[in-house]
Amino acid sequence: MDYAFPMSLLQPSWYTVGKAFVGVGDPRSWRVLCTTPDEEDGCEALAPACDTARECAYGTNAAFFSSDGCVGRLVCCGVAFGTAGPYATFATTSNSTVLGLGEFANAGNLVQGHGLLVRRGASYVNASSDLDSTSTFVTEKAPRTAVGVFANGSLALVSVDGEEDVGAGLDLFEFADLLATGLRLDAAVNLNGGGSETVCANGTLINTPHGNDTAAVCERPVGAVSCLLDAGVMEAPRGKEEWAVTKCWHCRSVVRVVRDQTAYWRCGVCRKCNGRPPSARGVWKGLIRCGLCRFYASRLVHAFATGLIAGIVGSGLLWALPEVSRDYSTRAKVAAWVPALALAANVLVQFALAARLDPGRVPKRSREQWARLVAGEEDDWHKFQQQLPWCDLCDNLKPPRAHHCSTCSRCVVGLDHHCVFLHNCVGAGNVAHFVAFLLSIVAGTLFVVVYVAVVVVCGIRTGTTDLRARDILRAVVASRRRGTVDAATAVLARVASTRDGRFLALGAVALGVLGGVGGLAAITLGIIARGETALERSARLYRAGPDYRHGGFGSLSGHSPPTLTTPAP
């Protein structure tokens, strides 16, 4: 015997989780029903599962069968049929539920399946002695059926619809992951699935069986049925917690959620979060910490940044430079306009590239697809499936140096930070353009500041400026009896009424941008020179494991599609 569970007092019920049908109940209400209990084999004549289970609150198909009858041992309500084989076995006695390989004595109901899928709360497909993990039976996508128990002793009948001829359904690795991780079963045995997979509630068919392994919906006759008797109220497989039936906002799947967790929960089908955590409730906390709010706030800041850049570039090219260069010679105009146009074009192009290029988001693939890619030509790709670094938030591969962006809800390779001015992440795919954008802003604003300073100083020296100190003093004297705000407003209005005053205002804005962006550029270049990202610098994540840094300025070389790589030498 592998291990046993005490009986539970949970009443039978059934519900759906995504495409899975789950029947939950007291193991003492579980029965194995044979189609021909009066015959020697017990299932010599096959019959539709719903006909055999018409007295059951919830029933599924059970044992594997062939033209000679059921495969392995069956105990139907205390009567034994068939010959025991080295197969995974699920049985109930008068006071316990037992699982393991072979036959168990004193079993009141027993069925032999093919494969121990879950053991001690973890997938057991690779270790089950009656399964070949590389066989088509294990790896093909098909409808599946299982019987198992929760840690508290409650029994569960689980079925997943599919269609073998088009590869719809789950392979046994995915099915075991659903049972262990999604439903939190402590142990489970694989039963007959494929075209035989059938689910009945109160004698009525409730799933979509494909008995001929084709698109046609029909119920295949089977030899035995796994049955939960005596319908009761719907209860959870997790003790006394009250559950609520709700719908996922993202994938629209109907799922059950613990009632006191309905404010914030993760869907078991699409793995996305619904609602807000306690730390993000309230107006200000919600705006700051809610990922959806951050996403739209990022979009607003990006619109503001786009307008600011367009305003500075436009005012410089459409007003300031034409005004200043009106009396220039042709050679002087060329000397002024060529660098101005080049710098403006560089700022706009690098801004667009940094904002629109893919920062290095990990392509969306299933765990099986990633395992096959990692295995390459090797046939035994299953051993890689559970070893892949995985992000539970976006349900996707998480390569080395990749981090999950809570604003974009995606993992990004080499994520530095989410830039609200770009409304995009800065990662391995666009970090070079981000740095070029910062440097182009530094060069452009420095050009504006120097040019404005030269124009104003030359005007003062030659006496051609319209911004005179005595005019400003007169404005100050005239407004001395007013309040501080009114006086400052009057002085600024007098300055803005002059051409050189407007130049100074433009230069002041450019100087402020130069200081802020220049500091950011210096910090970014310092981080890149060490081969780090901003996240790695702040948390020193790479010290907890292998060093995947590319060396000084190696991060600017871009990225390739994410793969599992070895540490840098």
**Residue 90: helix, strand or coil by DSSP?**
strand
564 Cβ neighbours under 8 A, 6+ residues apart:
374, 388, 389, 399, 400
Task: Tell me the C-alpha to C-alpha distance, in Å, between residue 477 and each of 160, 465, 466.
Answer: 86, 22, 19
Q: Which residue has the tokens 């050009």?
A: 447
Determine the average pLDDT of the residues in 464-475: 68
Q: Running DSSP on this structure, what letter comes out for residue 319?
A: I
Determine the average pLDDT of the residues in 331-347: 90
CB burial of residue 200 (10 Å; 0-12, 13-18, 19+) = buried
Q: Which of 227, 220, 94 is nearest to 155 (CA)?
A: 227
Distance CA 57, CA 53 (A): 8
Lowest-confidence range among 157-161, 187-191, 245-249, 442-446?
A: 245-249
Q: Where along the chain do its domains lie?
A: 3-237, 241-278, 291-360+430-538, 367-416
262 Cβ neighbours under 8 A, 6+ residues apart:
244, 246, 275
Share of the chain above pLDDT 90, in %: 11
CB 465 within 8 A of CB 459: yes
Q: Hey, which of 12-21, 93-102, 254-263, 415-424 has the most confident mean pLDDT? A: 415-424
Determine the average pLDDT of the residues in 512-528: 90
Is the C-alpha dihedral spanning 85, 51, 33, 186 positive or negative?
A: positive
Q: How confident is the model at residue 401 (pLDDT cuts 50, 70, 90)?
A: confident
544 or 505: whose pLDDT is higher?
Answer: 505
Determine the average pLDDT of the residues in 109-123: 87
Determine the average pLDDT of the residues in 331-350: 90
546 Cβ neighbours under 8 A, 6+ residues apart:
400, 566, 567
* The predicted structure's pLDDT at residue 11: 35
65 or 380: whose pLDDT is higher?
Answer: 65
Determine the average pLDDT of the residues in 16-20: 57
Amino acid at 69: G
Look at phi and psi of residue 461 and say left if phi exceeds 0, alpha if psi is from -120 to 50, else beta.
Answer: alpha
For residue range 424-469, what is the model confidence (pLDDT) as tens digits?
Answer: 999 988 999 999 999 999 999 999 889 888 888 888 788 777 776 6
Q: How confident is the model at residue 554 (pLDDT cuts 50, 70, 90)?
A: low
Amino acid at 545: G
* The predicted structure's pLDDT at residue 83: 78
Q: Running DSSP on this structure, what letter comes out for residue 24?
A: E
Amino acid at 355: A
Lowest-confidence range among 33-37, 452-456, 510-514?
A: 33-37
Read off the tokens for 517: 């962006």
Q: Across the chain, what does the average pLDDT equal?
A: 76
CB 344 within 8 A of CB 398: no
Amino acid at 474: R
CB burial of residue 524 (10 Å; 0-12, 13-18, 19+) = buried
Q: Which residue has the tokens 């074009």?
A: 345
Put the strands of the sheet holding 96-101 in their side by side order: 3-6, 96-101, 88-92, 109-112, 74-76, 79-81
